Amino acid sequence: MAKELKKRNEVAKENTWAIEDLFASDELWYKNLEVLRGYKEKILAFKGKLGSSSKTLLGFYQQVEELLRLLDDLLNYSSRKRDQDTKNSTYQAMDGAMMTAYVEVSEALSFETPEIILISDEKMEEFYQ
């Protein structure tokens, strides 16, 4: 006899993901999604400047690190919420909003590799000093 899958509300709390450790509520998740979108302008402010100084390059990577940590938490939350009940349109929409934000972030960061490649080895060595 095949076992029937339990609904989310029938599963013991200790057997579920602790996504509230990421965000205490959906509302807080949406607020942080807006924070993530704000990073786009912060990142684009570095466009064309990565090779100008070590301070600029460091500042860029510090912003990217913050952005990626937030992105990871947002993505994990929306994905786990969607996975709880794949028929729930609220969490399908949340995950869709996250994917849109992910694409926007990726687009904003698209200048990084071409600019880094243009920094000479000598200049990069100077940056390390």
The 10s digit of each residue's pLDDT in 20-39 is 999 999 999 999 999 999 99
The 10s digit of each residue's pLDDT in 52-89 is 999 999 999 999 999 999 999 999 999 999 988 888 89
Q: In 3D, which of 92, 94, 110, 97 has the Cα closest to residue 40?
A: 110
- Structurally, at CATH architecture level, domain 25-128 sits in Up-down Bundle (1.20)
Instruction: Write b or e for each residue in 20-42: b if 16 or more Cβ atoms lie within 10 A of its Cβ, otherwise e.
Output: eebbeeeeebeebbeebeebbee
pTM: 0.85
